[in-house]
Structure 1
Amino acid sequence: MKRLPIGPLYYEFSRHHEPRLRIEPGETVMVASEDALSGQIRSNTDRRDKIKMPYSNPLTGPIAVEGAEPGDALAVTIQEIRPTIGECATRTADPKQLCEWLGTDCPHGTHVCPIRDGLIYWSDSVTIPYTPMLGCIGTAPDWGCPTTAPAGPHGGNMDIIETCPGNTVYLPVFIPGGFLYLGDAHAAMGHGELSATGLEMPAETTITVNLLKGKRLTWPRIESPTEIMTIVSGAPMERSIAQAYALLSLWMETEHGWNRWRAYDLLTHVGQISVGYYGIGTVAAKVDKRYLHGR
């Protein structure tokens, strides 16, 4: 298995960087990443210093996949996400839209939590199950260089809890090699990522990357052992939900034998959504695989 250690911290999904690793389709790679706070918070007294490090969500990459060409897709199966320092950190200094109701006197709220034995020790009396996921994963577009703040058709800062071990993330390829980046690992995160900060941690993520020739995608997809889902990001979120469900209906039509309108009817009753960071309107529309054999 190849290993990609932390190197330069990138804050864009850029095609302009030289690949740090080249792999063949089907290879498994362990990728090390820094936390979304750029390693600045390791204790409750630390503070995020945006003068020294103004950006968030540093990435490791890019990884070039041999044979990947525009119009293909990468199938990235997340095998494991392992914390590297045994702790995670969060902060509540930026209440943003909530200020209308909560006020503007929010404390900094730096909060470091140990991770051990499958639990996150949020306080002496509250533990949270260790349920790791990647906030950022994506490929490099052929035009422009999106930062690690938004999500888009390339993937990006999706902050969807389903980018987790056991699931496969499908990403469009826009340039030769694909140029895969990842980072922003979370030990856990609630739907919506309310404070815009999950339980952030440096991590080692083990992935297996396959290449799907001619699998042209307009937005990312995720497949779990029990569900398929489509991801769309943008505000207003109502539009993202509608588009994600439309793409899910078309996926059911093109690959599972459904008529799109029949799928639309079914999804009205059994479809579910998962919400990433609410501030950028990222959603997953999903359906349980057991329904795909119906019609």
Structure 2
Amino acid sequence: MKSIPIGSLVYEFTRHLEPRARIEPGETLAVSSEDALSGQIRTDADRRDKVAMPFGNPLNGPIWVEGAEPGDALAVTIHEIRPAIGQCATRTADPKQLCEWLGTDCPHGTHVCKIENGLIHWGDGITIPYAPMLGCIGTAPDWGVPSTAPAGPHGGNMDLIEVCPGNTVVLPVFVPGGYLYLGDAHAAMGHGELSATGLEMPAESIITVNLRKGLRIPGPRIEAPDEIMAVATGCPMERSTAEAFARLILWMESDFGWDRWRAYDILTHVARISVGYYGIGTVAAKIERRYLGGG
């Protein structure tokens, strides 16, 4: 199994870098990543310094997948996400839209939490189950170079809790080799990532990368053992919700034999949504697999 250690931190989904690794489809590899705070917070006394590091989430990559061409898709199965140093960190210094109701005198709120025996020791006697996920995963677009702050058709900073062990993230390929990046591991996170900071941790992710030739998809998909989901991003969130559902309906039509209007009907009654960071409007529209055979 190839290992990709943390090298120079990357803050863009760019096609202009030399690949950190070249792999064959079907290979499993271990990818290390720094936390979204660029390693600046290791104790409660530390502070995020955006002057010294005025970027978004650092990534590891790019990973070149042999045979990947525009119009294909990468299917990235996440097997494990291991904490690298046995702790995670969070902060609440930027209430942003909430200032209208809560005011602007938010304390910095930095605190480090120990990860032990499947639990995150948040404080005040409260523990949170360890439920790791990757906030950022994506491929390089063929036009422009997005930072690691937004999400889009390439994936990006989706911050969806379903990007987790046991699931497969399917991403469009725009350039030869795919140029896969990942990072921004969280020990846990609530829907919406309210403070724009999860329980951030450096991590090692064990993934298998497969290639799906000719699978032209408009944006990321997530495949779980019991459900499938289509992802869209944008504001207002009402629009990205509608787009995610439309993508899910067309997926049900093309791959599962559903008439689109019957799919529209069933989703009205059984669908669920998951929300990434609310500030950029990422939505995953979901349906359980048990319904898919009845179209």
Shorter chain as normaliser: what TM range? over 0.9
Which residue does 2:271 correspond to in 1? 271
Which AA in structure 1 matches 2:284? A
Q: Quick check: 1:262 aligned with 2:262?
A: yes
Query: What is the alpha-carbon distance in structure 1 between the residues aligned to residue 114 and residue 97 of structure 2?
Result: 29
What 5-or-longer segments of structure 2 have no aligned partner? none
Query: What is the alpha-carbon distance in structure 1 between the residues aligned to residue 55 and residue 117 of structure 2?
Result: 32
Deviation, structure 1 residue 56? 2.3
Query: What is the alpha-carbon distance in structure 1 between the residues aligned to residue 142 and residue 255 of structure 2?
Result: 27
| Aligned-partner SS, 1:163 | coil
Query: What is the alpha-carbon distance in structure 2 between the residues aligned to residue 259 and residue 146 of structure 1?
Result: 36
Which residue does 2:180 correspond to in 1? 180
Residue pairs, 1:35-54, within 5 angstroms: 35-54=35-54
Which AA in structure 2 matches 1:33? S
Which residue does 1:98 correspond to in 2? 98
Query: What is the alpha-carbon distance in structure 2 between the residues aligned to residue 56 and residue 46 of structure 1?
Result: 18
- Percent identical pairs in the alignment equals 77
Which residue does 1:28 correspond to in 2? 28
Which AA in structure 1 matches 2:265? D
Residues 48-101 of structure 1, C-alpha deviations (whole Å, 9 max, x = no match): 011111112100000000000000000000000000000000000000000000
Query: What is the alpha-carbon distance in structure 2 between the residues aligned to residue 4 and residue 216 of structure 1?
Result: 28
Query: What is the alpha-carbon distance in structure 1 between the residues aligned to residue 190 and residue 155 of structure 2?
Result: 19
Query: What is the alpha-carbon distance in structure 2 between the residues aligned to residue 181 and residue 51 of structure 1?
Result: 25
| Aligned-partner SS, 2:123 | coil
Query: What is the alpha-carbon distance in structure 2 between the residues aligned to residue 4 and residue 217 of structure 1?
Result: 28
Which residue does 1:230 correspond to in 2? 230
| Aligned-partner SS, 1:114 | strand
Query: What is the alpha-carbon distance in structure 2 between the residues aligned to residue 29 and residue 151 of structure 1?
Result: 24
Query: What is the alpha-carbon distance in structure 2 between the residues aligned to residue 73 and residue 63 of structure 1?
Result: 14
Query: What is the alpha-carbon distance in structure 2 between the residues aligned to residue 124 and residue 23 of structure 1?
Result: 45
Residue pairs, 1:142-291, within 5 angstroms: 142-291=142-291
Query: What is the alpha-carbon distance in structure 1 between the residues aligned to residue 247 and residue 230 of structure 2?
Result: 7
User: What is the TM-score with the length of structure 2 in the denominator?
Assistant: 1.00
Query: What is the alpha-carbon distance in structure 1 between the residues aligned to residue 8 and residue 216 of structure 2?
Result: 30
| Aligned-partner SS, 1:266 | helix
| Aligned-partner SS, 1:183 | strand
User: What is the TM-score with the length of structure 1 in the denominator?
Assistant: 1.00
Which residue does 2:3 correspond to in 1? 3
What value does the CA root-mean-square deviation take over the aligned residues? 0.5
Which residue does 2:73 correspond to in 1? 73
Query: What is the alpha-carbon distance in structure 1 between the residues aligned to residue 227 and residue 84 of structure 2?
Result: 30
Which residue does 1:138 correspond to in 2? 138
Query: What is the alpha-carbon distance in structure 2 between the residues aligned to residue 199 and residue 154 of structure 1?
Result: 24
Query: What is the alpha-carbon distance in structure 1 between the residues aligned to residue 51 and residue 279 of structure 2?
Result: 23
Which residue does 1:85 correspond to in 2? 85
Q: Does the CA contact (< 8 Å) of 2:56 and 2:147 recur in 1?
A: no
Residues 119-154 of structure 1, C-alpha deviations (whole Å, 9 max, x = no match): 000014100000000000000000000000000000
Aligned residues: 295
Query: What is the alpha-carbon distance in structure 2 between the residues aligned to residue 192 and residue 111 of structure 1?
Result: 20
| Aligned-partner SS, 1:165 | coil
Query: What is the alpha-carbon distance in structure 2 between the residues aligned to residue 218 and residue 240 of structure 1?
Result: 13
Residues 211-240 of structure 1, C-alpha deviations (whole Å, 9 max, x = no match): 000001111000000000001000000000
| Aligned-partner SS, 2:252 | helix
Query: What is the alpha-carbon distance in structure 2 between the residues aligned to residue 247 and residue 54 of structure 1?
Result: 34
Query: What is the alpha-carbon distance in structure 1 between the residues aligned to residue 219 and residue 51 of structure 2?
Result: 34
| Aligned-partner SS, 1:249 | helix
Residues 174-211 of structure 1, C-alpha deviations (whole Å, 9 max, x = no match): 00000000000000000000000000000000000000
Query: What is the alpha-carbon distance in structure 1 between the residues aligned to residue 24 and residue 265 of structure 2?
Result: 41
Deviation, structure 1 residue 261? 0.5
